[in-house]
A and B are shown apart, each in its own frame.
Chain A
Amino acid sequence: MTTKLFGEPVRRREDARLVSGEGRFLDDLGQQALAAAFVRSPHAHARITSIDVDAALEVAGLVAIYTWEDLPAGVAEPLPLLIPHPALTHGRTAYPLARDIVRHVGEPIVMVVARDRYLAEDICSLIEIGYEYFKPVVGLEEAVSSTHLVHQDVPGNVGAHLVQEVPSAGGQSAAEAIAAAPHTLAFRLDIERSACMPLEGKGVYARWDADDESLRVYSSTQTSTSVRMAIAAKLGLPLPKVEVIAPDVGGGFGVKIVHPWPEEVLVPWAARLLNQEIKWTEDRREHFISSAHERAQIQHVQVGFDDAGRVLGLSVEILHDHGAYTPYGIIVPIITSTQLLGPYRIGAYRVEFSSIYTNTVQVTPYRGAGRPQGVFCMERTMDKIAQKLGLDRADVRAANFIQPDQFPYDQGLIFQDGRPLIYDSGDYPESLRKLKDLIGWDEFPALRESARAEGRRLGIGLGCYVEGTGVGPYEGGHIQITSDGRVHVSTGLTSQGQGHETVFAQIAATELGVPIERVSVVTGDTRRFGYAVGTFASRAAVMSGNAIALACRKVREKALRVAADALEADPRDLEITDGVVHVVGSPAASIPLATVAVLSNPLRYAFDEEAKRATQFATTGSMDRPPVAEGEEPGLEGKGYYSPIRSTFASGMHAAIVETDPETAEIRILRYAVVHDCGKMINPMLVEGQIHGGVAQGVGGALYEKMVYDEHGQLLNASFMDFLMPYATEIPHIETDHLETPSPLNPLGIKGAGEAGVIPVSAVIAAAIEDAEGFPIDRMPISPSDLYDLRLRSPR
């Protein structure tokens, strides 16, 4: 490696395009396409008794109206349950168009195709649907105790129930360990719903080529390969006749990993049926009521600990609200219940969750994916232990840390990838030391006192987490060096603005020894790469990054072989610098990669001067060997796949100082500090950016965002007017420090960084407010009005 870009703060190559209006998002495409719009249920739970389209049929510009009854066999079936699990005994998914029962406000019932979106929406408003109303099930505890059922055949509204139990080293169960512990605590925690809210909603644009009998679909998705397979299966098309492309995608944060969305099946189906281009672009209200939410959980915690605050036994019962359907299985509560343990080595652990149906929008992973809830649980527990024992909150954490010499550390649980939860590496004591330095933990009491003298109320809090990143099963990378010396990198997973064009190019440039300007990167285009899983779970850099590195190494090896032939040198003496292969120590003996690419592809026909060098009468190759030797392939091209044995575990710790107004109960974050360890950083600037964005979303979840459902199952704040996503003005300056504990599991030594920022924020802010106010904060998010209420109920 000579052109060292790995580890450098290279500027994001995609930004000039994205910030100057040159990006091509879903709605920028297909300007001539017909528009689809949907009539969605205004009721949370009802049977459809009639659908009257008479008035709609009069409108000029109408192309088609479809209900469930119009759908052919494959399309009419319920959408797939993507991740089955034995504990998900009552998994249910929706029909692409409601068949007879609607189970949440926003469920699609009728699809309208018209000349443009204005007309399509006019037509939707003319369609009259009759309903027989049922009492909706709203709220977690209400759902558990309700006699009303979201699905008639799911008793108690319980979709899944799972217990995991890890006994202590001495063989005690959690219950036994707690009973025998010198100190115990029991409490209830409550976290509300939020949602991904990408700036660009979902969207699908499909065009059928009748001559070629092929389908091209653009989707604003986090997984084009899997959408492709789903569409081919649903429509009964040969896979090679379906192309799916994720164009520029304006954010995903998890919601776009779910697939196929009803629209991802219906729009291509109708495009083929009508032999017309069709596009559907989700609007914000649709995104609120018919995509996905996350976070809502109620947790009952019991903990037993010793005088030093060491946890001897922990038992957590989780009620998880998964909404009306379970297309993504029970991944979120599995992550909560396993990642809850964070950086700690505890005695005995028992976790039990029930995943519950309610007549609300379905719940699927949102950045952090169950971890914020788990970390909230564990970190509140640590704070309560410290409070009970009168110990420093940082010391209690330190007393429970897994030590650097204890890796690999097996938590004894099964993680979300079906594999054992074994931490690969980390240094938690050092992270804590750095965090305390960064925020000034030990100096805070003095700061608090001087503020108090001015009548101001300050508090400090901290929170730690471990994040399993880079889940399998695999990703691949493809490298092609063309005869102009350009390097074409492609990988199947998609990008939603993370900066893959930059970091993957850094990896390829470093591995191949070429200038980064010569490297181009394509993601999420099934025409270029057909095998992939998708972008989620902080996995893109780990999975595709390593796959691309492996592909580069293959291509590099071949390039050196071909160059060695041409230079009559030993490949082991060769090096590539600035796109030129040369003999180490004698730069004159060199050959550009472009020429190597020409020579690697024996030609019959010359199409330009360069190509002449590879034609059959020009080469000097041996007459005893075929032009393409056995085991070789033409071209400077290679594929690599990376499939890890299990996830790699990143970690981090955050701390915040908040001020609460003694009169107005306003909550202000004065300082926010992050120490983060994602192994080797490919690009520290992008890691920083990921952390900033994550913290911003975390602040949203801690202080602003919630989904307010009334008892009728109506979402009362389904717009940006009332769903309070924080503005830049609400986000504090974020101070960061890093640790690099390489992962031993992958060639590049990297760990994921995509979700990290969001994970501990609610726990940290709750801790800081609790510290300022002196009473427990067990429910998040918290608003000034909530804080005012708590003050009235808990006099200081």
Chain B
Amino acid sequence: MKPPPFDYHAPTSVREAVEVLAEVGAHGKVLAGGQSLIPLLNMRLAAPAHLVDINRVAGLGEIQTDATGVRVGALARHAQVERSAAACLAQPLLRQALKLVAHPVIRNRGTIVGSLVHADPSAELPAVLALLGGSVRLAAATGEREVAAADFFTGPMESATRPGELAVSAFFPAWDGGTSFIEVARRHGDYAMAGVAAAVRLDDLRITAAKVVCVSVGPVPVVVEVTGECGNRPVASVDWRAVVAAVQDRIEPEADIHATADYRRHLTGVLVERALKAAADA
């Protein structure tokens, strides 16, 4: 459990970082919080020839909040965002999701942007970005681009980030309604067997907008718009079976050693109803 040899780079500016990344291309990996990458290296499941440690890069730790949403810099740790009153006021779903991410010690190091680039279909933050329709800003030696969530997550552990690119920030839009995140994990802090985040808007107690995102039941976070199924009704008279069925139609759960595909489908259904009700209540 020792990593294979690699060259270590520690740039101090975004410019320097993207230059190194351009040079090493596909042989390089960015090291942010290291909570996902270091285990992969130690288990020799990844063997990049170059590690570009961005922890000394100036200006990447910022959390900017305004009425439109929250922009999170590449070095903002899970714990910092979780504790940022302004960020969590502008977008409460961030905190609702972050308290489900791993354990405090991991949240102290792990970064939100790292989690997005890592693109684990069981991870909470990619789901949040997908649900809210946020975006990721990618910098390269040749310039910057902003990629929408819908285009960013391309497969399990695969994002639109290209070799040579550095994700510098992510934008989580505000939502003028209620949100919630509910999941069932085997142990406290584990990746969920199934989990659902919901965003709901009410008008005079009627559901006028509703959508959910599901984790661990597809190659990428699965966003399902259920406004139609909620039928512009109050929570108590929604046909929840129809809502659940609409979501279950869209997910592609697979079995693993912790849960069968059937159980994941069932569980997602249960959580869809619970999450939507909680979001309507929020």
Contacts and interface: CB of A to CB of B under 8 A. Distances in A.
Nearest to B44: A125
A719 B43 contact: yes
A708 to B, nearest CB: 5
A704 B187 contact: yes
A360 B4 CA distance: 28
Contact of B263 (A122, A285, A789): A789
B259 A785 contact: yes
A724 interface: yes
B187 A788 contact: no
Interface string A50-91: 000000000000000000000000000000000000000000
Centre residue among B39, B103, B186, B189 by max chain A CB count within 10 A: B186
Contacts of A118: 2-3, 5
Contacts of B15: none
Interface size grouping (class) on chain B: 20 to 34
A117 B257 CA distance: 32
Interface string A742-786: 000000000000000000000000000000000000000001110
Centre residue among B3, B43, B263 by max chain A CB count within 10 A: B263
B257 A716 contact: yes
Contacts of B263: 665, 784-785, 788-789
A721 B36 CA distance: 11
A785 B192 CA distance: 13
B60 to A, nearest CB: 28
Nearest to A703: B186
A577 interface: no
Given A122-B5, A789-B260, A784 B193 contact: yes
Given A118-B2, A122-B5, A708-B257, A727 B189 contact: yes
The secondary structure that dominates the B interface is loop
A666 B257 CA distance: 16
A764 to B, nearest CB: 20
A721 B3 CA distance: 18
A664 B258 contact: no
Nearest to A720: B39
A740 interface: no
Contacts of A783: 186, 258-259
B266 interface: yes
Interface in B165-210: 184, 186-190, 193
A10 B216 CA distance: 49
Nearest to B257: A708
B1 interface: yes
A785 B43 CA distance: 29
Nearest to B270: A663
A283 B259 contact: no
B44 A726 contact: no
A125 B260 contact: no
Centre residue among A284, A716, A722, A785 by max chain B CB count within 10 A: A785
Contact of B4 (A125, A730, A785): A125
A704 B5 contact: no
Contacts of A117: 2
Given A122-B4, A125-B4, A285-B43, A730 B257 contact: no
Centre residue among A117, A783, A789 by max chain B CB count within 10 A: A783
A586 interface: no
A785 B3 CA distance: 35
Interface string B262-278: 11001100110000000
A666 B270 contact: no
Contacts of B186: 704, 724, 783-784
A172 interface: no
Interface in B1-37: 1-5
Nearest to A719: B43
A663 B39 CA distance: 35
B188 A784 contact: no
A121 interface: yes
A93 interface: no
Contact of B1 (A283, A717, A730, A788): A283
Contacts of A722: 257-258
Contacts of B259: 783-785
Interface string B233-262: 000000000000000000000000111101
A390 B45 CA distance: 56
Contacts of A49: none
Contact of A730 (B2, B187, B271): B187
Interface string A664-683: 11100000000000000000
A729 interface: yes
Contacts of A664: 184, 267, 270-271
A595 to B, nearest CB: 54
Given A122-B5, A125-B4, A666 B187 contact: no
A707 to B, nearest CB: 10
Contacts of A121: 1-2, 4, 44
A285 B44 CA distance: 12
A722 B263 CA distance: 18
A666 B1 CA distance: 34
A534 B273 CA distance: 56
A665 B257 CA distance: 17
Centre residue among B2, B190, B266 by max chain A CB count within 10 A: B2
Contacts of A708: 257
Nearest to A710: B257
Nearest to A723: B257
Given A724-B187, A727-B189, A730-B187, A785 B260 contact: yes
A125 B5 CA distance: 12
Interface in B48-92: none
Given A122-B4, A285-B43, A729 B260 contact: no
Interface in B90-144: 103
Nearest to B274: A663
B193 A785 contact: yes
A258 to B, nearest CB: 22
Contact of A284 (B1, B184, B188, B270): B1
A4 B230 CA distance: 73
Given A117-B2, A783-B258, A729 B184 contact: no
Contacts of B257: 708, 716-717, 722
Interface in A235-283: 283
A727 B5 contact: no
A719 B187 CA distance: 15
A253 B263 CA distance: 34
B185 to A, nearest CB: 10
B187 A727 contact: yes
A708 B259 CA distance: 13
Contacts of B43: 285, 719
Contacts of A730: 187-188
Contacts of B270: 663-664
A716 B259 CA distance: 14
Interface in A14-64: none
Contacts of B271: 664
Contacts of A789: 260, 262-263
A785 B190 CA distance: 16
A291 B267 CA distance: 36
A197 to B, nearest CB: 14
B262 to A, nearest CB: 8
24 contacts: A117-B2, A118-B2, A121-B4, A122-B4, A285-B43, A665-B263, A704-B187, A716-B257, A717-B257, A721-B39, A727-B187, A727-B189, A729-B189, A730-B187, A783-B258, A783-B259, A784-B259, A784-B267, A785-B193, A785-B259, A785-B260, A785-B263, A788-B260, A789-B262
Given A664-B270, A784-B186, A784-B267, 16 more contacts: A118-B2, A121-B4, A125-B44, A285-B43, A704-B186, A708-B257, A722-B258, A724-B258, A726-B187, A727-B103, A727-B189, A783-B186, A784-B263, A788-B262, A789-B260, A789-B262
Interface of B: 1-5, 39, 43-44, 103, 184, 186-190, 193, 257-260, 262-263, 266-267, 270-271
4 tightest Cβ-Cβ pairs between the two chains A and B: A729-B188, A785-B259, A283-B1, A785-B263
